[in-house]
Structure 1
Amino acid sequence: MTLRVDDVRREEAALWVRHGAPPVMEHPHRHDDLELNLVHSGRLEYLFGGSTLRVDAGQVALFWGGTPHQLVDPDAVPSDVSWVHIPLTEVLSWALPAEQIAVLLRARPVVVPAAALARDVDALFATWHRDLLAGGDSTVVMLEAQAFVRRTLTTAEAPGAPGGAPDAADAAGAPGPSGAAARATAMAQFVAEHYRSPISPADVAQAVHLSPSHAMTLFKRVVGTTLGTYIARCRVAEAQRLLITTDATTVEVGHAAGFTSQSSFYDTFRQICGCAPGDYRRALR
């Protein structure tokens, strides 16, 4: 896989900032981060969860990377893009309104004009990139990123907003009170904090004081995926991170990511990523 981007990652900050031309993506991928795209010039075209998505120059896209997505024909138009990846665990710690969390976890991205965010977004992203590249304190960048995400979601929710977010009712699966979104958010938070342990959907249900069947039905309705699949995605995303950023063996990676056996690790990883863990590591090194 060929990447043609200026790629910066601050491990201790658990924050990614990238700037440059769109990368070549041979296959769809997933990651357990919130992703921000800012198109400075040109455009991005995605296959996103089975649908197409186009992000034009001057637009910001915001979505959860757990939905399979792939850039299509990045060389079609010369483009300059910034990406920011924020771990879902960090986002869930921000205590966003449950309805906004439900919007983020759905398979439909939020897309808004950068000009509607009432600030120089290009300069802001450039500052984040420069600060992390210089190895400075990432705390300020994370705080600014949180404010930016909040502003983006609020802007998308405004009546008549161009692009924007899914309806609150759509994000929750059906009209009704926000209790379902709040419960689903609590379940996602529990999984994000405990997926490295041998938890099951029943453990998640117990943590939010619901029966397993009720919890699984509610989570699927709000988030659009099953609890078991969500746990597996979190573990695979952690395994992907460890395969890329460490020299740990695949046995060590599987154990650290929360898998109870190597066969389970290999089967789940291949099902989600389309290749074995070792092949994934070799393709990105």
Structure 2
Amino acid sequence: MEDAVVETMPSGIWTHHGPAPVMDRAHRHDDVELNLVLRGHLDYLFGGAPVRVRAGEIALFWAATPHHLIPSPTRSLGAWVHLPLGTALAWTLPAPDLATLLSPRPVIVDAAVVCPDPAAVFTSWQAELLEEDPTIALLEVQALVRRLLRAGRDGPEHPDGGPHPGQAHSAVEMARFIGAHFREPITPADVAGAVHLNPTYAMTLFRRSVGTTIGTYLSRCRVAEAQRLLIGTSMTTAEVAHASGFSSQSAFYEQFSRICGLPPGRYRQVRRSGSPA
């Protein structure tokens, strides 16, 4: 799928409950996405491949892979949650789970296997994830994601559409290194060195496996952390910039505004008050 026809959406906490959103074109965003189908089914083109999620199933995927929800003649209902990937990386998932999450295909599981009342849980998250302190909801999301990854890993194998296992492992290890060190002044060369690869080869491998550059992935991890701090703490924007790993206030404002579509102060106001952007 060509980048020219794929829209890059801002990352951030987002919830939706009701009819399936209309998607005019494929898009990508640096979030962990959860879809619960309540009625009907959802048909996606996921990285160009058709994927169907049926009623009673939950789909989990890293939304950096281009995906397009195809309009259905049936009135499908569902619930959606987006959570910045940086938040999920802070959970220090086991390597097999992280590899599953970052793979270029969704995990699709019968909701009843991982949650006794998924509709009620997703409904509660609609408000709780946007509260000033969403800690409880985030812990619940983490628990569900871990169960989904375990169920997906233990379930039937999906058709292979990803990179060679050795390459995928190196890309996962680079992503883990970035997730552990993005608050520090690291560079793409540091990331390559962490897995003992030539920087040029590491950058090519990372882009092929993950779908973005090391530098962009690093920026998005920092922005995701800044989003979390802006919503969940009273830190000043200067403090948030420093705590998220940005080298300067100007770099923070530029990268945050580009990825999120709003400057940091306005983003905090919108997320806390629910006012229109």
TM-score, normalized by the shorter chain, greater than 0.5: yes
AA in 2 matched with 1:89: L
Give how far 1:191 is off.
Answer: 0.4
Stretch of structure 1 that moved more, 274-283 or 236-245: 274-283
- Number of the residue aligned with 1:81: 79
CA distance, structure 2, for counterparts of residue 230 and residue 241 of structure 1: 17
Residues 20/265 of structure 1: CA separation in 2 closer, same or farther (3 Å cut)? same
Which residue of structure 1 aligns with residue 34 of structure 2? 36
- Structure 2 partner of 1:146: 146
- 1:125 pairs, out of 114, 118, 121, with 118
The answer to whether the 8 A contact 1:25-1:70 is kept is no
Measured against aligned partners, the alpha-carbon deviations of 1:228-247 in whole angstroms (never above 9, x if no partner) come to 11101101111111222222
Instruction: Tell me which amino acid in the other structure corresponds to 1:123.
Output: P
Larger CA deviation: 252-261 vs 17-26: 17-26
AA of the residue aligned to 1:236? V
Q: Which amino acid aligns with 1:188?
A: A
CA-CA distance at 1:83 after TM superposition: 4.0
Residue 137 of structure 1 and its aligned partner are, at CA, apart by: 11
Alpha carbons 2:33, 2:81 under 8 Å: kept: yes
Matched residue, 1:245: 232
What is the SS of the residue equivalent to 2:61?
strand
Task: Find out whether 1:208 has 2:195 as its counterpart.
Answer: yes
Bigger mean CA offset, 59-68 vs 264-273: 59-68
Matched, 1:112 2:100: no
Distance in 1, Cα, partners of 2:51 & 2:227: 25
**1-side partners of 2:20 and 2:175: how far apart?**
30
Q: Is the 8 A contact 2:17 2:123 kept in 1?
A: no
- Aligned with residue 262 of structure 1, among 249, 253, 258: 249
SS of alignment partner, residue 183 of structure 2: coil
State the percentage of identical aligned residues: 43
Letter in 2 for 1:262: Q
Residue identity matched to 2:150: R
Query: Could you tell me the TM-score, scaled by structure 1's length?
Result: 0.66
> In the TM superposition, what is the alpha-carbon distance from 1:255 to its structure 2 partner?
1.4
**2:269 partner amino acid:** R
Amino acid in structure 2 at the alignment position of 1:171: G
CA distance in 2 between counterparts of 1:271 and 1:51 reads: 29
Equivalents in 1 of 2:81, 2:159: separation in Å? 22
Q: Distance in 1 between matches of 2:267 and 2:80?
A: 24
Q: How many residues align?
A: 245
Q: Is the 8 A contact 2:53 2:108 kept in 1?
A: no
Q: Secondary structure at the match of 1:96?
A: helix
Q: Which residue of 1 aligns with 2:269?
A: 282
Q: Distance in 1 between matches of 2:46 and 2:261?
A: 17
Alpha-carbon distance change, 231 to 54 in structure 1, aligned in 2, over 3 angstroms: same
Partner amino acid, structure 1, of 2:61: F
Where structure 2 has 5 or more consecutive residues not aligned to the other structure, the ranges are 1-12, 129-134
Aligned to 1:7: none
Provide the alpha-carbon RMSD of the alignment.
4.2
C-alpha distance in 1, partners of 2:141/2:121? 6
Q: Within 5 Å, which residues of 2 pair with 1:171-250?
A: 171-172=162-163, 176=164, 178-250=165-237
Gap change, CA 1:232 and 1:68, over 3 Å in 2:
farther
Deviation at 1:112, TM superposition (A): 3.0
Whichever residue aligns with residue 34 of structure 2, its letter is L
Q: Tell me, in whole angstroms, the C-alpha distance in 2 between the residues paired with 1:84 and 1:267.
A: 23
* Residue number among 61, 64, 86 corresponding to 2:62 in the alignment: 64
Q: Which residue of 2 is the match for residue 12 of structure 1?
A: none
Corresponding residue number in structure 2 for 1:13:
none
Q: Which amino acid counterpart does residue 118 of structure 2 have in structure 1?
A: F
TM-score (norm 2): 0.68
Instruction: Give the Å deviation of 1:109.
Output: 4.3
